[in-house]
Structure 1
Amino acid sequence: MECAGKGRGTRCAGPAKRRCARCGAVGYCSVTHQLSHRSAHKEECARLEQQMKHSDALNAFPFTYCQEATIEICEKLVSRCSFLSKRGIHQVGMWMYECKCQSLGNSFEDLRFCAFTIVGIFRECYAHVENCAGPVSPISDHLSGWEDYYRWRHIPFHSPVALLLQWPMLIYHAIQITSARISTIGTSKELRVHYVGPEKELLQLPAFGELQALFPGMRMHIELVGPAVPEHRDGETIKVGGYAQCSDTDCDCKSTSSQGSKSLDTAYDSTVILQLRRGCYHDIYRNISEESFPHLIVAPNAGIAAYSSWLPTIELIHKMNVPAVFSDYCEEACHLATRCINTVAGISFSLPIQLNPFRQPMAVEDNALLLPCYSNCFLLGI
C-alpha cells in the first residue's frame, strides 16, 4: 500500500510500514509523513477504526479456502496468482482476469464473444463441481448468502466458482432487496436491468447465464453500459442460453437443463440477453430507454466519489425514479459516495450501506487502505 502522507512536501522514505495506532487502516513511510497527515486523517480516523472492527465479518465465508483467500492474501502470505495456480486455473479461460497477469485493456480489444461456446463455458466455470444435482427445483426462499447458494446448486465448498459468479449473484441480490419497488416481479416474465460501468466482467459474460437458473421462466434483458465496452462491440447482442453445469457427463443437471434449453427462442423461456453499449450512461440512456426502460439499475464497484462523471448519472437515475443499487470494494468507499451525493446533488439513499452476502470471496491485493476489500463488498441504493 502507498504511504497516506505521500506528496506532502518530502519524498517517501520507503514502504508504508507504520500504521496509525488508533484505526490501523492507514500506513506511513515515516513519522514525518504521519505527522504531516494528522490533520487530514483526524476526521476519518474514528470512522475507519469502527470499520476495521468489522474485519472478521468481511472475511467470513463458508469455503474451505477462506483463510487462504482472505487473511493470507491481505497479509501477503499468498497471492491471487498462487491461489489460482494451486487449483490449476491460473491464466485459464475466464479465470485469467482474476489476477494482474492479464492486461484488461488488450483483452477488451481482442474479445471474441463468438468463441464462448456453452459447453466450454460451463465446463470451465464448474470444473470443481462433483456430482452436481443441478437446480432441479426452483428456489423455495431467498438465498441469504454463498452457503445457501452452494447447497442449492450442490457445489462442494472447495470450489472457487464464486469468484466468477459474483456478477450474476450481485444482480440476484439487488433484485431481492429492491423487489418491493420492482412492479414486474411476480406479474411479468421479463425483467430489464441496466448494468452501469462494467469492466472485468465484460470478459466473463458467460457467468451471467447462471441468472437463468436463479430466475426460472424469466426473460432477463441486461444492458451493459460503460466506456470500457470496446468500440467495435458497441450495440452487440449476446444471448446466453443455459446455466452453468458441472463436468460430470452423467449428472442429473445435464438432463434437467437440456429439457429447458430446447425452446430458448420461445417468447418467455428462461433466457439471458446481454446488450453491450459504449459510453457514459447519462449520455446514451435516452436511446437505450426507448428500447428498454429499466426495472432496476445496478452499478458494480462504482467508485462514485472517485469519478465526477457519476454525478450526472446519479441525477438522471434520481429523476427516472428507478431503484438503483451500487456496490463498492469497502465500506469507506460507500461512505464517501453517500457524502458526495448528499453534498452535491442532495439525494438521499433508500438503501443504507450494507454488506453484500455475495461479495467475491477473495481479498483485493494492494489496497490504498488496510481495510479488507472485496469486489462488490458493500452495497447502497437510491
Structure 2
Amino acid sequence: MASPLRFRRSSERWNDDRIIEELYSHLDSNLGARSVTPHYVGPDGFETRRFEMDNGDMALFTWNDDFAYWLGNTETPPALWRTSKYTFDEVPYQIARWGQRELLADLTVESPWLAKYDYLSWFFLPVLFSKDGRETSRAFFRKYDAGFPDTTRDEALSFYERFLRTGALDDYRYTMASKLGTSQYFDKNRMSSAMSEFTVAKLLTEAGYDVIPEIEVTTGHSLDFRADPRNGSHDQSSLVEVTRPQPPTQRAADTPVAALRETAETKSNGQLNEHGGGAVMFVDCSGFRDDEWSAVVGEQPDVRHRPAVVFRARPSGAIDAYKKGSVPLSLSQAVEWV
C-alpha cells in the first residue's frame, strides 16, 4: 500500500534542460505526459513546473539554486529516487502552501461535492491525492457518507467538517489522515472504523480534553489516544482504545447486541487484554440504524471490558451513550447518557 502524499526534496542543481531530460522525458515515455502551466504562481524565488499524465496522475516540481521539491501521485523518476520524503508541515510554508493550493484546485474540478468542505478536504489531502488511495478514499465519502447510515452525504461530511475546523487534530494531520488508508482496494468497514477514531476525538474534545493519538504502551502496542485534561478542568489523563461493530446486516451475528458483543470481545481479548487494563474502551455504534441502536440501548449489554463507553453519534452532533464500569473521564458535556 502506497504511503500518503509527501514532498521529495533534492539538494542538487536543476535547470530546464535537466528537468526535460530526467523528469519530463521519463514520465512521457512511460505514461504519456504534458508539461503545463501550474494553476498558481509559485513560491517567491522558485520556478515551477506541472506535469499531467494520460492516466490521470500528476506531479509538481519547484526549484531554485539551493533546493528542489517534487510532489506527485505518479511514479518517481529515477533522478529523485534517493531523495527523502517530507510532509506538508516539514517543508517551508510557501512550498507547502503552493502545493496544497494546486491540489485543492484540482479537487474543485474533479470532486466539487467534496471540495466545498474546505477543512475536511485540506486535512485529508495526503490521502485524497495519494497514488493508490485517491479513488477509494473519495468513493468512501461520496457513496457511503463517511460510514453513517440513514443520512445524506452533506450531513455526514458537515459533521466532520465542523470538528476538523476546530484544529484539534491539526498537529497530527498525517497520523490521523493516514488511518483512512491509501489502498486501491476499497474496504468500507476499515474506513468506517478509521472515522470512528475521528468521532471519538470529537467527543473527547467537546468534553474538555486534548487528544494525542497513537500512544505507545509497554506491551509494544499503540493505543488510539491519550485524553489529557484541558486547562485543569479534569483530574487525570486516560488512555483510550476505539472499536466499531459492524451492523448485524453486514456480519454473521444476527442481532445488534450480538454484533456489539462479538466486536468488543475481539478487542478486549486481544490488544486491551495484553495491555493489562487501565484503558477506556469506546465502542462506536454510529453505523447502526435507529432500530438497531434502540435494541442495544434497551439491553445495554456488557462488552467484556471495563471501563467502557458504548455510544452512537448522529450527523446532527447528538451522541447517545451508556457506560460500564468506572469511567475516569467526565463526558457529560459531550454525550447524552441513556
TM-score, structure 1 as length reference? 0.25
Of structures 1 and 2, the larger Rg is shown by 2
* Greater RCO, 1 or 2 (C-alpha within 8 Å, sep 6+): 1
Q: Which has the higher strand share?
A: 2
TM-score, structure 2 as length reference? 0.28
